[in-house]
């Protein structure tokens, strides 16, 4: 079998809010001539002609970093999703062969299921903060750089767990952290199923302060033999063997700082969540002109819910489908 590295990253956005989905993104890169035994490559360096970490770059390269570093303040002149959108749509446009014209197209390309609730009934035209023709130029530049660097961008996907499903899963498992982890492992499973014989390496940002994941991995893949490679302060790494195929999963502290696939996954998850929140705010603010939009985090969500209480009662809207229990 030829030497090849399947290099994937997974990260979440929206773990703490009361409103809007918990969103998890996954991205995959293939390096045909990279020996996996040599460790993960620095894709920021490999793709430096088109990609950087900074929001302010004289060469106008794509900013790829932890989503928290790229989202702008809503009070500024620039659209708060300017940098997130540019990076996500560039990679998605390259992989899918086209730019999504509205958020529903993006959800479809990323395999995101949008609940059929009244507050998610509208659609947003895309892009929000860029010119489509300018983005096509960026995509061409990215494609050329990927080809010259010998890197294949093999896909991105996302899972959005909105309040109704989130509440049901927490009630069943009695663990908010468990809902997050199981969703991440479902994304890992998709990657392993797509490349069952190529020994994918999947990096996840560490979930809280945990260092032990053996039991969760064995529940996810009960037919696989598991080997603990490391359980240390900064990294927990495991290898799974199943029917001749192998998978290595690593949980690392601040993985979005050291692994470009994790940073891009973080951006994808955050962008999807923000598109959900845009729909939610459009619905309720359209019925209450004085209502200020919310990002969904607990303190402001409580203010928001107080102000839309009469709307929820008047339309008999299901609060358990809107508000997370924890």
Residue 234 sits in which domain range? 5-321
To which H or E segment does residue 262 belong? helix 260-285
230-285 pLDDT, tens digit per residue, is 999 899 999 999 988 999 999 999 999 999 999 999 999 999 999 999 999 999 99
Predicted model pTM:
0.96
The mean pLDDT of the chain is: 95
Q: What is the mean pLDDT of residues 63-72?
A: 94
Asked whether residue 85 is domain-assigned, the answer is: yes
CATH code, domain with 175: 3.30.420.10
Residue 294 has pLDDT above 80, yes or no: yes
Asked whether residue 197 is domain-assigned, the answer is: yes
| Residue 36 binned pLDDT confidence (cut-offs 50, 70, 90) | confident
Determine what percent of the chain is predicted with pLDDT higher than 90. 89
Number of domains in the chain: 1
| Residue 35 binned pLDDT confidence (cut-offs 50, 70, 90) | confident
3-state secondary structure of 203: strand
Asked whether residue 72 is domain-assigned, the answer is: yes
Sign of CA pseudo-dihedral 140, 145, 151, 156: negative
pLDDT of residue 279: 98
**Rounded CA separation 82/270 (Å):** 12
Tokens coding 147:
């080809």
Contact 25, 183 (CB under 8 A): no
Asked whether residue 117 is domain-assigned, the answer is: yes
140-191 pLDDT, tens digit per residue, is 999 999 999 999 999 999 999 999 999 999 999 989 999 999 999 999 999 9
pLDDT of residue 203: 98
Residue 1 has pLDDT above 70, yes or no: no
98-132 pLDDT, tens digit per residue, is 999 999 999 999 999 999 999 999 999 999 999 99
Contact 205, 252 (CB under 8 A): yes
Asked whether residue 307 is domain-assigned, the answer is: yes
Asked whether residue 326 is domain-assigned, the answer is: no
**Packing angle, helices 163-173 and 176-194, rounded to 10:** 100
């Amino acid at each position: 079998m030829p030497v090849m590295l399947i290099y994937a990253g997974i990260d979440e956005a929206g773990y703490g809010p009361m409103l809007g989905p918990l969103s998890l993104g996954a991205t995959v890169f293939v390096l045909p001539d990279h020996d996996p035994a040599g460790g993960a490559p620095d894709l920021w360096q490999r793709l430096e002609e088109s990609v950087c970490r900074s929001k302010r770059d004289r060469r106008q390269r794509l900013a790829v970093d932890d989503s928290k570093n790229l989202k702008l303040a809503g009070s500024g002149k620039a659209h708060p999703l300017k940098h997130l959108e540019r990076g996500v749509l560039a990679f998605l446009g390259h992989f899918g062969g086209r730019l999504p014209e509205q958020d529903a197209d993006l959800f479809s390309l990323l395999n995101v299921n949008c609940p059929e609730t009244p507050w998610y009934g509208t659609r947003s035209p895309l892009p929000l903060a860029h010119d489509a023709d300018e983005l096509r130029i960026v995509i061409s530049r990215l494609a050329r750089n990927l080809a010259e660097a010998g890197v294949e961008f093999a896909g991105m996907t996302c899972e959005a767990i909105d309040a109704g499903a989130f509440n049901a899963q927490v009630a069943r498992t009695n663990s908010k952290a468990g809902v997050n982890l199981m969703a991440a492992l479902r994304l890992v499973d998709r990657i392993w199923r797509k490349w069952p014989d190529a020994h994918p390496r999947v990096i996840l940002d560490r979930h809280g302060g945990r260092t032990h994941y053996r039991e969760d991995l064995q529940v996810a893949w009960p037919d696989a033999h598991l080997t603990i490679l490391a359980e240390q302060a900064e990294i927990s790494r495991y290898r799974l063997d199943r029917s001749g195929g192998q998978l290595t999963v690593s949980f690392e502290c601040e993985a979005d700082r050291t692994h470009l696939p994790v940073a891009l996954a973080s951006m994808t998850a955050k962008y999807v969540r923000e598109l959900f929140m845009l729909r939610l705010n459009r619905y309720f603010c359209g019925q209450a002109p004085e209502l200020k939009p919310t990002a969904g985090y607990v303190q402001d969500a409580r203010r928001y819910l107080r102000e839309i209480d009469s709307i929820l009662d008047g339309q008999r809207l299901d609060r358990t489908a809107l508000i997370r229990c924890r």
